[in-house]
Structure 1
C-alpha cells in the first residue's frame, strides 16, 4: 500500500469539509466567502447569521456526524458579545462530537475582556478580524496551514 504524500493527505483532509461561519454582517461574509473560495476551494462554507440558526445546523448534522463541520468561525458580536459567549457555552455543552468542534472566535474587538471570555467559554482561538480583502486572504491561508496541514483533529466517531 502506497503512503499518501503530505499534499495528498491535506487534500483528503479538506475534501468535502464543512466550515460553519456564524457572521451577521453581509459585507464581512462577502469578503470571507470570496477569500475562502480562493484559499480553501475544497471547503464548503455554511453561513448562519444568528446563533440560533447555527445551533440548529449543528444539531441537524449531529445525526449525520460525517457532515458535521470540522471548524466553526464565530463572530463574537452577534450583535452583542453576550450572544457569542452564550453560543460558545451552548456548543461546548452539547454531546460529543459536537462539543469537540474547534471554534475560532473572530471579532473586530481587541478588548482583553472579549479575548479572555472567548477562551473562558471554550473558544479554541481568538482572531481580530482583518480589515480588507488581502488581510482575509492572509488569514485563510494561515488557517489552512494550521487547521488542515498542522493540527490533528479528533476523529468523528460514528454512532450508527
Structure 2
C-alpha cells in the first residue's frame, strides 16, 4: 500500500538529496551557498565552476545512483552564454538517468530570447538572479517549497 502522506513524500525527496551548482562567479556562488544552506540544510551542495568540471562529474556519477543530484542549478554565462547553452545541450544528450535530472537555469539575463531558448532546450525552470541576499534567500525558500516539499521527484533508474 502506498502512502499519500505528504511527509513521506518530503522524506523521499530529501533522500540522497544533492544539488549540482554550476556557477563560475565566486560572489554568486557565495550568495547561493549561504542562501541554500539556510533554506535547504538537508541538501548536499556540490559546486563546479566550468562546463568541463560539470561534464567530468556527471560522467563519473552516471553509474553511481547515490551520487546523482536531484537538481542542477545552471548559470547561463560560464563565462559566455554559448558555454551555458553548449553545456545544457550536452547534459540533455547524456544517457539516462543523467539526462532526466531537472535543470533550473539561474541567470542574470532577462532577455526573453534567452528564456524561450532555455525552455526549448529542456530546462525545468528559468530564474533571473536576484540582486539582494534577502531575494536570494526567498528564491531558495521557494525552491525548497516547490522542488522538495510539493512535487514528487522520480526515482533514479538506469536504462540499459
In structure 2, the CA distance between the partners of 1:109 and 1:5, relative to structure 1 (3 Å rule), is same
Instruction: Show structure 2 runs of 5+ residues with no match.
Output: none
Alignment partner, residue 87 of structure 1: 87
The answer to whether residue 86 in structure 2 is matched with residue 74 in structure 1 is no
Partner of 1:130: 130
Q: Deviation of residue 37 (structure 1)?
A: 0.6
More moved, 79-88 vs 10-19: 10-19
Q: Give runs of aligned pairs for residues 103-114 of structure 1, distance below 5 A.
A: 103-114=103-114
The one-character-per-residue Cα deviations of 1:127-160 (angstroms, maximum 9, x if unpaired) are 0011111111100110011111122222211579
Query: What is the CA-CA distance between 1:11 and the residue it aligns to?
Result: 3.5
Unaligned runs of 5+ in 1: none
Please tell me whether the aligned partners of residues 17 and 43 of structure 1 are also in contact (alpha carbons under 8 angstroms): yes
User: What is the TM-score normalised by the length of structure 1?
Assistant: 0.92
TM-score (norm 2): 0.92
Q: CA RMSD in A?
A: 1.9
Q: Which has the higher contact order (CA 8 A, sep 6+)?
A: 2
Q: 1:63 to 1:134 in 2, by over 3 A?
A: same
Aligned residues: 160
